[in-house]
Structure 1
Amino acid sequence: MDVVNHFFEHDYRDRGMLKWQGFYLSDHTAALNHQRDQQQRIYQRQPQQTLPTISKLLADAYQRHRQVTLQLNEVDLNGRQLPDSQTYIYGYHDDRIVIDDQKLIAINQIRHVTLK
């Protein structure tokens, strides 16, 4: 036992967190791959709907509590269309709609609405 204690007290150099750097679980690897795929995916731009059409579809979804797919007039830094959002409409506030997590979206930022 003295030999073991001497080894850990004088010879062994613990690398701390360095020993974990190359260690990934399969769940971590799958999540990283999924994130990379989402970032590289190219989303198709839908045609710009008119404001009356967007308003009618949003009002219908709100009244019937139906899920919608929203495409916003937003692009990433590379000019690619951002992913669509699938959500319910929880209300209106002036010229904005309330969606999941109490997030407000201006109606004039919406490019396309599809009822689910």
Structure 2
Amino acid sequence: MTKRFDNKLVTQFLKHDYHDRGMMKWQGFYLSDHTSVRAKEASIADVQLHRTHLAKMSAKQISEVINESIIKKTMVTVDLAQRNRDGQILAPITGRITGWVANQIVVNKKAIYIEEIYAIKRIK
């Protein structure tokens, strides 16, 4: 059995009885995907705000860690001396040293000037 609808009745309902409040119905609460994105952004911002440097290393110590990491092909975490526009410490770069040219090393396809390294740590 198929039910048929009355076009006149639908038109009358839409014209006279139904009032769509539009965006008013969405104001005042967030959808769950919006709240999860906002929570993730807040968590990332909190990590960036409280990030600290590793212990400062001398140029000699940095060179020793770089040399040993290249020879043993171990992973490293590079803590840069740079900061972002807001004065926050940049996230460390982690990976294998895949190249070394003059005064730069390459970690995760990123060229890093050795003099910009604050500290470097081998990951065993």
TM over 0.5: yes
How far apart, CA to CA, are the structure 1 residues paired with 2:82 and 2:13?
A: 60
Q: Identify the match of residue 87 of structure 1 among 90, 95, 99.
A: 95
Cα gap change, 1:5 to 1:98, in 2 (>3 Å): farther
- Residue identity matched to 1:49: S
Deviation of 1:42 (Å): 3.5
Task: List gaps (5 residues or longer) in structure 1.
Answer: none
Cα gap change, 1:106 to 1:31, in 2 (>3 Å): same
How far apart, CA to CA, are the structure 1 residues paired with 2:98 and 2:15?
A: 63
Q: Which has the larger radius of gyration?
A: 2
Task: List gaps (5 residues or longer) in structure 2.
Answer: 1-5
* Contact 1:68–1:114, Cα closer than 8 Å, also in 2: yes
Asked if 1:44 is matched to 2:53, the reply is: yes
SS state of the match for residue 89, structure 1? strand
Percent of pairs with identical residues: 20
Structure-1 residue corresponding to 2:10 = 4
Structure-2 residue corresponding to 1:97 = 105
SS state of the match for residue 62, structure 1? helix
Q: Residue by residue, what CA displacement relative to the aligned partner does 1:15-50 show, whole Å, maximum 9, x if unpaired?
A: 5xx959832425424422322212321313521322
* Contact 1:43–1:82, Cα closer than 8 Å, also in 2: no
Report the TM-score, using the length of structure 1 for normalisation: 0.71
* Contact 1:43–1:83, Cα closer than 8 Å, also in 2: no
Report the TM-score, using the length of structure 2 for normalisation: 0.67
Deviation of 1:92 (Å): 1.5
Deviation of 1:6 (Å): 5.1
Structure-2 residue corresponding to 1:108 = 115
Q: How many residues align?
A: 112
How far apart, CA to CA, are the structure 2 residues paired with 1:74 and 1:115?
A: 20
Cα gap change, 1:71 to 1:3, in 2 (>3 Å): same
Let me know the Cα RMSD of the aligned residues: 3.0
Q: Identify the match of residue 28 of structure 1 among 37, 41, 44.
A: 37
